Amino acid sequence: MATTQIYYRIIRLVYVMPTIRVREWTKDRIEEIRNRESHSSHDSVIKSLLKDRELAKFASPQQDEPELSTPDLERNVDKEFESLTVFSELQAPEDGIIFLWCPQCVSEIAHLTVEDRVNITQIELGCQNCLHRLDQHALVAIEIGYPIEQKLVEEAVEADLKRCVVDYWDRTLESTSEQSSEAADVEDLVWAIDQYCKEFNWACSTEYPAVSIQAGRRYRDEVTGETLEVLELVSADNNQINSYRIRRFESASADSNGVDPEVLSADEVVELIADRRLTVIEDG
């Protein structure tokens, strides 16, 4: 396919185990540095080189060309982490190297060597560990600046990856709702995020407006002030937004006894999620 050909002209994609790897023709140089500087492993050499911004000279020799990464070309993305980026927002990775991780099972799927800027709008990879299919809205790119070893010791990687993804979903839902003139674009995004929440079994964070509706939870409509108690799914079609049976009352403290259930339609679900109107009410 033409799209696949474009992908491989822009990047070199390599499936790897969770460790840093490099092109074959750099190994001799890395081994030489390892012996000279008494590094414990090849990974140690690479990390040291990257800190000095020298690896690009060995891994991606460039001809003299105009610099493409100028301030005018950069999108101003106000994201949660500087060196963790959901693939859809990836622009010009530090040193041209990124590691793609699955936020569900917290494992590395692949690494990319990128020439200049990332200009891919769609991508899909399968995680060989948990078998989930991940696209540009769920793959997390870890750049060299992220202190992966420290975070692994602190057992903080899982929380960081999830927070990175949910922050991206929150901002992207808001911007798509505001900017897109196509209702189908908004519906497709809400559906895709809802599917990931269900597949990952992620409970909605109380730090962000809800990115998905889940049976058994209560939500506050920040526009009307009403509380929505989600009772159950009415439809269960994995290919479209589902409708739910809910109880709606004036406040979180109101007695739900005697309140008749009603159906929250798929269109209403899309509107509530896309307009960032719902916040999760914590149990208790």
Where would I find the beta strands (DSSP E) of the chain?
11-15, 84-86, 97-102, 107-114, 124-126, 133-135, 140-143, 218-221, 227-233, 244-249, 262-264, 278-281
Largest CA distance in the chain: 78
The verdict on 50 and 158 lying in the same domain is yes
For 226, the domain range is: 218-281
Determine the Cα–Cα distance for residues 38 and 29; give it in Å rounded to an integer: 14
Q: Confirm if 211 and 137 have CB atoms less than 8 A apart.
A: no
**Which pLDDT score, from 0 to 100, does residue 212 have?**
94
Give every CB contact of residue 60 below 8 A, 6+ residues apart in sequence: 96, 113, 115
The verdict on 8 and 146 lying in the same domain is yes
- DSSP-based three-state secondary structure for 209: coil
Buried-exposed string 107-132: b where 16+ CB fall within 10 A, e elsewhere: ebbbbbbbeebbebeebebebeeeeb
The verdict on 160 and 223 lying in the same domain is no
**Which pLDDT score, from 0 to 100, does residue 54 have?**
40
In a domain, 33, yes or no: yes
**Which pLDDT score, from 0 to 100, does residue 32 have?**
72
Question: Pick from 145, 164, 183: which residue ends a domain?
Answer: 164
**Which pLDDT score, from 0 to 100, does residue 268 have?**
96
In a domain, 185, yes or no: no
Encode the chain (284 residues) as per-residue pLDDT tens digits. Answer: 444 333 433 344 444 433 344 444 456 666 777 777 777 776 666 666 555 444 344 444 444 433 433 333 345 567 889 899 999 998 877 777 889 999 999 999 998 887 777 777 788 999 999 999 999 999 999 998 999 999 999 999 999 999 999 999 999 999 988 887 677 889 999 999 999 999 999 988 888 999 999 999 999 999 999 999 999 999 878 888 999 999 998 876 666 677 899 999 999 999 999 999 999 998 75
Inter-axis angle of helices 266-274 and 183-200, to 10 degrees? 90
In a domain, 205, yes or no: no
Query: In whole angstroms, how large is the CA radius of gyration of the chain?
Result: 22
In a domain, 203, yes or no: no
Q: Confirm if 218 and 211 have CB atoms less than 8 A apart.
A: no
In a domain, 197, yes or no: no
How many structural domains does the chain have? 2
Determine the Cα–Cα distance for residues 174 and 258; give it in Å rounded to an integer: 35
The verdict on 226 and 141 lying in the same domain is no
The verdict on 141 and 275 lying in the same domain is no
Determine the Cα–Cα distance for residues 246 and 260; give it in Å rounded to an integer: 9
- DSSP-based three-state secondary structure for 57: helix
In a domain, 160, yes or no: yes
**Which pLDDT score, from 0 to 100, does residue 125 have?**
92
Q: Confirm if 250 and 227 have CB atoms less than 8 A apart.
A: yes
**Which pLDDT score, from 0 to 100, does residue 14 have?**
44
**Which pLDDT score, from 0 to 100, does residue 277 have?**
95
**Which pLDDT score, from 0 to 100, does residue 64 have?**
44
Determine the Cα–Cα distance for residues 120 and 92; give it in Å rounded to an integer: 12
- Neighbouring-strand partners of residue 280: 219
**Which pLDDT score, from 0 to 100, does residue 275 have?**
94
Q: Give this prediction's pTM.
A: 0.71
The tokens for 274 are: 């896309």
**Which pLDDT score, from 0 to 100, does residue 126 have?**
92
In a domain, 213, yes or no: no
Task: Classify the C-alpha dihedral 201-206-212-217 as positive or negative.
Answer: positive
**Which pLDDT score, from 0 to 100, does residue 43 have?**
67
The verdict on 141 and 228 lying in the same domain is no
